[in-house]
Amino acid sequence: MSTPKADLHFLPLGGSGEIGMNLNLYEYGGQWLMVDLGVTFADDGVPGVEVLMPDPQFIVERRDKLIGLVLTHAHEDHLGAVQYLWPELRCPIWATPFTAAFLRRKLTETDFADEVDIHVVEMGSRFRIGPFDLEMVTLTHSIPEPNGLAIRTPAGTVFHTGDWKIDPDPLVGDVTDDARLRTIGDDGVLALVGDSTNALKEGESGSEAEVRQALIELFRQHDGRIAVACFASNVARLESIAVAAKANGRDCALVGRSLWRIHDTAKETGYLRGLPDFVDERDAGFIPRERLVMICTGSQGEPRAALTRIAADEHPHVVLEKGDVVIFSSRVIPGNERNVLRLQNSLAHLGVTLITDETHPRVHVSGHPCRGELARMYQWVRPRIAIPVHGEALHMQAHANLAKACQVPHALVPENGTLIRLAPEGPEVVDRVPTGRLAVDGDRLLPFGGAVLRQRSRLMWNGAVIATVVLDRKGRVAVPPRISAPGLLDPETDLDFAQEIVEAIERGAGRAGKGAPDEKVEEAVRRAIRDVLRERRGGKSIIDVHLVRV
């Protein structure tokens, strides 16, 4: 008599309904497999926060059942949270050589690097983790060694795409292994869990070879310095820029620490061979303008990235001036529009010529599949279920509709925290688990909706009033109250407003009564301050009252 099959479940804790922060879980027979553990970069809505990641509390509470983490590739939105969250998970990690080397470099910034058990698996390899029979399937993307995962269980096979595209000439790495995908499809695929980033865009994403040729031609047209902003992880793009520089008699410099980290990782694992040595940013200033190309971090307008510092004339080694050119060889990640526009305006003030994919479409091609490529994937894999992930709601819904148009019987658009049973008769949401976000704040992680960040946000938008009230033994105000109002009052011009607040404090203390306990006096003073602020400003400033008795 055969043993009944267990159910197979899929649970996203990050990356569904948003771009970035990918954290996906598969469960079979009571054991959990994690696929990717990434971050996203915060906007300027909360000061002091640059990096966000999914809250892994659900799986931390089941850590004894977490048997491993498989990384599909080395982008920050797929592995950037490992250096923050691994101590809570303490599971072994599987990755291909480039991804493993990149992760090891990141872990050198921690005090637990030697504790992490990293298993290096080759491209196209097959291996087992607990009840999961896994196969790395070679795809193309904007970084070396992107992989789809065929996840086989007794309940069926899931193909988890990771990030991918179809590039007939990727320049770095192999082309998509469509023959293997067809074979996996022939064997039967229960569900495809896949990238939705470009599901609203018709056609194909384009080839890296087209970008290389466009850069060679663009470089030929300009005489000043050329700076190219791109994602540091796009090794093929780094190579294309270096090749274009050489073709035009220019030296190529790397400006930004993350570029050198990727460069060193690529060299270590066999990429970026046969190119002239890149110039260090400290030496870039000694190269004549007409002979210099600089690859810079900061394509998303990140505050501390190289290009932002150059635009503000704050970089210690590199300058840009009138007659120079900046090429944005990247797309704007949703949510970063304001930062990028601010950066581009700063560059325009310097008299720099700006070139983007809007003015010259082939200076960048996406690393994600457009609708034509998605349709081809469904023709190859032929799953019974489509589960769109890695996208905002609009992208995932468009992906689900396309899958149905490709004759996929079932499609379900998940949210973070939806526990989905995957079965031949169709997917079913069987539970919802708590989810959240964590923010990196110095050397600690804070809940994104927690008290500290809420207060910080309120301070940024509405300022604060801090009042010190001294009462004598009879409960009367002994000396004029002292106030401080950062972000609210100008100490030189708002004297009348400040006096109104002081008088309100005295009235509030008097209203509380002479024998009132401290808590009642503090609340009365706080209410009196709030009334004045509401009348004068209408805001919701933080109010803090310090009561002293003498």
pLDDT, mean of residues 523-541:
85
Does 317 lie in the same domain as 258? yes
Query: d(Cα 463, Cα 226) in Å, to the nearest integer?
Result: 43
Does 370 lie in the same domain as 355? no
What pLDDT sits at residue 4?
A: 60
Does 227 lie in the same domain as 114? no
Question: Of the residues 337, 363, 389, which one is the last residue of a structural domain?
Answer: 363
Give the phi and the psi of residue 271 in degrees, each rounded to 5.
-105, 175
Does 146 lie in the same domain as 76? yes
Find all residues with CB under 8 Å of 252, minimum gap 6, and list them. 241, 242, 245, 246, 276, 278, 279, 293, 294, 295
Q: Report if residue 380 sits inside a domain.
A: yes
pLDDT, mean of residues 418-422:
98
Does 403 lie in the same domain as 455? no
Share of the chain above pLDDT 70, in %: 99
pLDDT, mean of residues 504-528:
85
Q: How many domains does the chain divide into?
A: 3
Side chain identity at residue 184, one-letter code = I
pLDDT, mean of residues 517-527:
88
pLDDT, mean of residues 419-441:
96
What pLDDT sits at residue 2?
A: 45
Does 376 lie in the same domain as 347? no
Cβ-based neighbour number of residue 18 at 10 Å? 24
Per DSSP, the residues of 171-185 read SSSPPP-HHHHHHHH
Does 135 lie in the same domain as 28? yes
**Top-confidence residue, 49 or 83:** 83
Does 508 lie in the same domain as 456? yes
Confidence of residue 490 (pLDDT cuts 50, 70, 90): confident
For residue 450, is pLDDT > 90?
Answer: no
Query: d(Cα 297, Cα 257) in Å, to the nearest integer?
Result: 8
Structure tokens at 210: 């087209």
Give me the helix-helix angle, 257-268 and 97-107, nearest 10°. 140
Give the DSSP H/E element, type plus range, for residue 68.
Answer: strand 66-70
Per DSSP, the residues of 122-179 read -TT-EEEETTEEEEEEE-B-SSSS-EEEEEEETTEEEEE--S-B--S--SSSPPP-HH
Does 250 lie in the same domain as 384? no
Q: Report if residue 446 sits inside a domain.
A: no
Per DSSP, the residues of 82-100 read HHHHHHHH---EEE-HHHH
Q: Report if residue 216 sits inside a domain.
A: yes
For residue 290, is pLDDT > 90?
Answer: yes
In CATH, what number is assigned to the domain containing residue 370?
Answer: 3.60.15.10
Q: Report if residue 141 sits inside a domain.
A: yes
**Integer CA distances (angstroms), 293 to 87, 113, 267, 296, in order:** 41, 35, 20, 10
Give the residue from 197, 261, 216, 151 showing the smallest Cα distance to 395.
197
Cross-strand pairs, 232: none
Query: d(Cα 336, Cα 439) in Å, to the nearest integer?
Result: 17
What pLDDT sits at residue 477?
A: 86
Find all residues with CB under 8 Å of 73, minimum gap 6, and list them. 79, 96, 99, 141, 143, 145, 146, 147, 162, 163
Task: Give 91-130 pLDDT, tens digit per residue.
Answer: 999 999 999 999 999 999 999 999 999 999 999 999 999 9
Q: Report if residue 438 sits inside a domain.
A: no
What pLDDT sits at residue 491?
A: 80
For residue 422, is pLDDT > 80?
Answer: yes
pLDDT, mean of residues 318-327:
96
Q: Which domain holds residue 300?
A: 208-363
CB hemisphere CA count around 474 (13 angstroms)? 3
Query: d(Cα 116, Cα 114) in Å, to the nearest integer?
Result: 6
What pLDDT sits at residue 235?
A: 95
**Integer CA distances (angstroms), 445 to 54, 91, 217, 397, 499, in order:** 11, 20, 46, 32, 40
Mean pLDDT, the chain, as a whole number?
93
Q: Report if residue 540 sits inside a domain.
A: yes
**Integer CA distances (angstroms), 415 to 103, 359, 371, in order:** 28, 36, 22
**Top-confidence residue, 541 or 174:** 174
Structure tokens at 416: 């973070």
Whether 476 and 469 have beta carbons less than 8 Å apart is answered as no
Ramachandran region of residue 441, left (φ > 0), alpha (ψ -120 to 50) or beta? beta
Q: What letter would DSSP give residue 477? A: B
Whether 88 and 63 have beta carbons less than 8 Å apart is answered as yes
> Can you give 305-366 as a three-state secondary structure string?
CHHHHHHCCCCCCCCCCCCCEEEECCCCCCCCHHHHHHHHHHHHHCCCEEECCCCCHHHCCC
**Top-confidence residue, 547 or 380:** 380
Give the residue from 6, 37, 5, 10 showing the smallest Cα distance to 26.
10
Does 230 lie in the same domain as 281? yes
Give the residue from 197, 75, 94, 203 showing the smallest Cα distance to 142.
75
Give all strands of the β-sheet with 437-441 in edge-to-edge order: 40-41, 51-54, 437-441, 444-447
Point out the least confidently predicted range of 210-219, 247-256, 455-464.
455-464
Q: Report if residue 445 sits inside a domain.
A: no
Does 191 lie in the same domain as 55? yes
Point out the least confidently predicted range of 398-402, 411-415, 416-420, 526-530.
526-530
Q: Report if residue 410 sits inside a domain.
A: yes
What pLDDT sits at residue 181?
A: 98
Point out the least confidently predicted range of 217-231, 233-247, 373-387, 495-509.
495-509
In CATH, what number is assigned to the domain containing residue 349?
Answer: 3.40.50.10710
Query: d(Cα 172, Cα 249) in Å, to the nearest integer?
Result: 23
pLDDT, mean of residues 25-30:
98
In CATH, what number is assigned to the domain containing residue 488?
Answer: 3.10.20.580
Confidence of residue 336 (pLDDT cuts 50, 70, 90): confident
Does 241 lie in the same domain as 357? yes
**Top-confidence residue, 521 or 22:** 22
